[in-house]
Amino acid sequence: METTSVTTQTRWSIDQAHCEFAFKVRHLMIAHVKGVFKTFDASIYTNSNDFTTAEIDLWIDPASIVTGDAKRDEHLKSKDFFDVENHKQITFTSSTMGKPSADGNQELWGELTMLGITKNVKLNVQFGGFVKDPWGNEKAGFTVSGAIKRSDWGLIWNATIETGGLMVSDEVTISCEVELINKGQEDMTMKLEQSGRFKGA
């Protein structure tokens, strides 16, 4: 005997024109250099509008990196860093999102994959709220932040400066502004086969 389980989920898409996936690293140990990725997308589903239930699959094209210096961008795309010829995507898949704290912050846990290496990471999420834009689209806004060590993913290139310090810090600060568009509800239908072992009992 076969039964059908129907779960309705809300699908969200990234508003490409109003999102920024950025990072910064300390340069020469005295200042920060900021970079952004220009090409990205995600598959996001929630139960109704409850983002603590969010299922997030995000991908970023590392070849779209921009830091404001063309030579530095090419170096970052090389084998010293992102090796974009052999590794076409950076991905993040969520596992859990905690409930908001008193100050509105949430913890987002998931798996970040770069250069073929996957690590579990924790990010901080600040929910900005829901709003209808002038065209009737429901939107949700978030600020996402966190810090990782690039060496955990094999990004170990560096150089020593005259004072004995390193040119680029190991710690990378993540800072993202994310605006999502509600694309409506979808039925996530799953068929279940019920065992008939008790038939005739």
Tell me what pLDDT residue 8 has.
Answer: 80
3 and 191 Cβ atoms separated by less than 8 Å: yes
pTM exceeds 0.85: no
| Superfamily of the domain at 2-193 | Lipid/polyisoprenoid-binding, YceI-like (2.40.128.110)
Which band of pLDDT confidence, cut at 50, 70 and 90, is reported for residue 156? Answer: confident
pLDDT of 193 higher than 60: no
Tell me what pLDDT residue 161 has.
Answer: 36
Alpha carbons 147 and 24: distance in angstroms, whole number: 10
Tell me what pLDDT residue 169 has.
Answer: 79
Alpha carbons 65 and 109: distance in angstroms, whole number: 24
Give the contacts of 135 (CB within 8 A, at least 6 positions apart). Answer: none
Which band of pLDDT confidence, cut at 50, 70 and 90, is reported for residue 31? Answer: low
Lowest mean pLDDT among 91-95, 128-132, 153-157, 162-166: 162-166
Q: Strands 65-66 and 90-97: what pairing?
A: unpaired
Alpha carbons 38 and 161: distance in angstroms, whole number: 31
Alpha carbons 127 and 142: distance in angstroms, whole number: 5
- 66 CA to centre of own chain: 18
Tell me what pLDDT residue 98 has.
Answer: 87
Tell me what pLDDT residue 28 has.
Answer: 46
pLDDT of 104 higher than 50: yes
